């Protein structure tokens, strides 16, 4: 009886899922009911377990990362313990390559990062396009150890390499009517399996888009990262260049950027478009604002060993960067502007 019952409900769920991809994305979550628990930012337990046990996945070809020249920024060197490099490289969110934590590593090793083209345009004095070499050579690269807090309630400590977004924005000259910065990830379904299938790509409408206010973008904490752990980025971490905004949930730190546009309109970011009740524009780490489906008061620290048997710690307001960024939101109701 029980077995039969569970089979029947499984069948129902998969039928619903396949029908739903033809519906308006905004209706998917509602129409699925319980099955909506599988996404966004979640997946069936069996699949999640598979990721853990397949941690030591081998690839025929592993992307080659090159050593970078950099200086250590002494203001951001004390953060312990660092997340082991293999976890930073193999426990990822990058829906362009699939929704499983192991998918980005498994399916991105042949991703081409050179040639690359990053255009900065919109409300700027001097629009520019940077090629792959420019990204690594045009700016002085520094190392900063930052906390990263995913909206799914896990966290890492990562030694990033990069330069501040403010450095780049000052170089192109921001016009006075620019109020927001919009970022866009590369769109290349032939190289990114998630972009060619709604199932594989977690029902996202690609390209992935993110945004910051000008004041946020100019904050000296915001990095454009081109590397980590002393070497250039791997594709699964957003090679050749990605954003790092340490006081916001990880999904704001958009990967593999091809376009940065200065604009007077608030960009509609990818996760807000999918679930406006669950993900906002600001997405500041805030233990007082729970996700509708889980608490944000604590986080699982990704360290050595099984990713589900980790120590937990209390989540800090603005992910511990309150001193640097609280002034940006002093007149804002953070319960409403989540
Ligand atoms: N283009 C793109 N950028 C993305 C994502 C994504 O799916 N696509 N995932 C985000 C999420 S949810 C997190 S937590 C971080 C994870 O970065 P990492 O895998 O390098 O640790 O990347 C963010 N940037
Ligand atoms: Mo995330």
Q: pLDDT band for 58, please (50, 70, 90 cuts).
A: low
User: Is the minimum distance from the CB of 254 to ligand 1 under 6 angstroms?
Assistant: yes
Q: Give the pLDDT of residue 134.
A: 98
Please identify which residue in the block is written with the tokens 């990362």: 65
Rounded percentage of the chain residues whose pLDDT exceeds 70: 82
User: Is the minimum distance from the CB of 244 to ligand 1 under 6 angstroms?
Assistant: no
Residue nearest (by alpha carbon) to ligand 1 atom 19? 92
Q: pLDDT band for 40, please (50, 70, 90 cuts).
A: low
Average pLDDT, the chain: 87
Which tens digits make up the pLDDT trace of 211-251? 999 999 999 999 999 999 999 999 999 999 999 999 999 99
User: Is the minimum distance from the CB of 154 to ligand 1 under 6 angstroms?
Assistant: no
Q: Which ligand is nearest to the CA of 229?
A: 1
Residue 45 has pLDDT above 50, yes or no: no
Q: Give the pLDDT of residue 34.
A: 37
How far apart, in whole angstroms, are the C-alpha atoms of residue 60 and residue 62?
Answer: 7
Residue nearest (by alpha carbon) to ligand 1 atom 14? 250
Q: Give the pLDDT of residue 41.
A: 61
Residue 254 has pLDDT above 50, yes or no: yes
Quickly count: other Cβ atoms within 10 Å of residue 332's Cβ.
11
How far apart, in whole angstroms, are the C-alpha atoms of residue 239 and residue 234?
Answer: 5
How far apart, in whole angstroms, are the C-alpha atoms of residue 283 and residue 270?
Answer: 12
More confident residue, 60 or 222: 222
How far is ligand 2, taken at its centre, from the CA of residue 252, in Å? 8
Q: Give the pLDDT of residue 310.
A: 86
How far apart, in whole angstroms, are the C-alpha atoms of residue 244 and residue 239?
Answer: 13
Counting ligand 1 atoms within 8 A of each CB, the residue from 107, 187, 251, 274 with the most, and so the one to mutate, is 251
Residue nearest (by alpha carbon) to ligand 1 atom 1? 255
Domains in the chain: ranges and CATH: 13-329 (3.90.420.10)
Strands 242-244 and 223-228: antiparallel
Which tens digits make up the pLDDT trace of 119-158? 999 999 999 999 999 999 999 999 999 999 999 999 999 9
Q: Give the pLDDT of residue 328.
A: 98
User: Is the minimum distance from the CB of 250 to ligand 1 under 6 angstroms?
Assistant: yes
Which tens digits make up the pLDDT trace of 267-322? 999 999 999 999 999 999 999 999 999 999 999 999 999 988 889 999 999 999 99
Atom of ligand 1 nearest to the CA of 158: 21
Which tens digits make up the pLDDT trace of 155-169? 999 999 999 999 999
Q: Give the pLDDT of residue 117.
A: 98
How far is ligand 1, taken at its centre, from the CA of residue 170, in Å? 26
Q: Which of 8-17, 93-102, 171-180 has the lowest mean pLDDT?
A: 8-17
How far is ligand 2, taken at its centre, from the CA of residue 86, in Å? 18
Residue 57 has pLDDT above 90, yes or no: no
């Amino acid at each position: 009886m029980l077995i039969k019952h569970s089979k029947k409900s499984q069948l129902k769920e998969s039928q619903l899922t396949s029908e739903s991809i033809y519906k308006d994305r905004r209706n998917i979550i509602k129409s699925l009911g319980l099955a909506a628990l599988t996404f966004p930012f979640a997946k069936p337990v069996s699949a999640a377990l598979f990721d853990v046990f397949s941690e030591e996945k081998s690839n025929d070809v592993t992307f080659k990362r090159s050593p970078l020249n950099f200086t250590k920024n002494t203001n951001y060197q004390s953060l312990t313990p660092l997340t082991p490099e293999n976890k930073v490289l193999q426990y990822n969110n990058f829906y362009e390559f699939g929704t499983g934590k192991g998918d980005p590593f498994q399916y991105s090793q042949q991703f081409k990062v050179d040639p690359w083209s990053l255009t900065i345009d919109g409300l700027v004095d001097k629009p520019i396009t940077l090629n792959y070499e420019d990204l690594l050579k045009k700016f002085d690269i520094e190392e900063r150890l930052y906390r990263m807090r995913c909206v799914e309630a896990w966290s890492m400590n990562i030694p990033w390499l990069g330069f501040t977004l403010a450095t780049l924005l000052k170089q192109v000259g921001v016009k006075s009517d620019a109020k927001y910065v919009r970022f866009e990830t590369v769109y290349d379904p032939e190289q990114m399996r998630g972009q060619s299938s709604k199932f594989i790509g977690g029902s996202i409408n690609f390209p992935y888009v993110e945004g910051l206010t000008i004041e946020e973008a100019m904050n000296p904490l915001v990095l454009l990262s081109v590397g980590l752990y002393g070497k250039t980025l791997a594709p699964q971490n957003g090679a050749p260049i990605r954003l790092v905004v340490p006081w916001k949930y990880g999904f704001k730190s958009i990967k593999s950027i091809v376009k940065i546009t200065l604009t007077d309109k608030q960009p509609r970011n990818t996760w807000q478009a999918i679930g406006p009740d669950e993900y906002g524009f600001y997405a500041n780490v805030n233990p007082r604002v729970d996700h509708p489906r889980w608490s944000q008061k604590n986080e699982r620290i990704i360290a050595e060993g099984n990713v589900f048997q980790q120590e937990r710690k209390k989540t800090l307001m603005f992910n511990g960067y309150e001193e640097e960024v609280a002034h940006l939101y002093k007149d804002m109701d953070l319960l409403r502007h989540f």
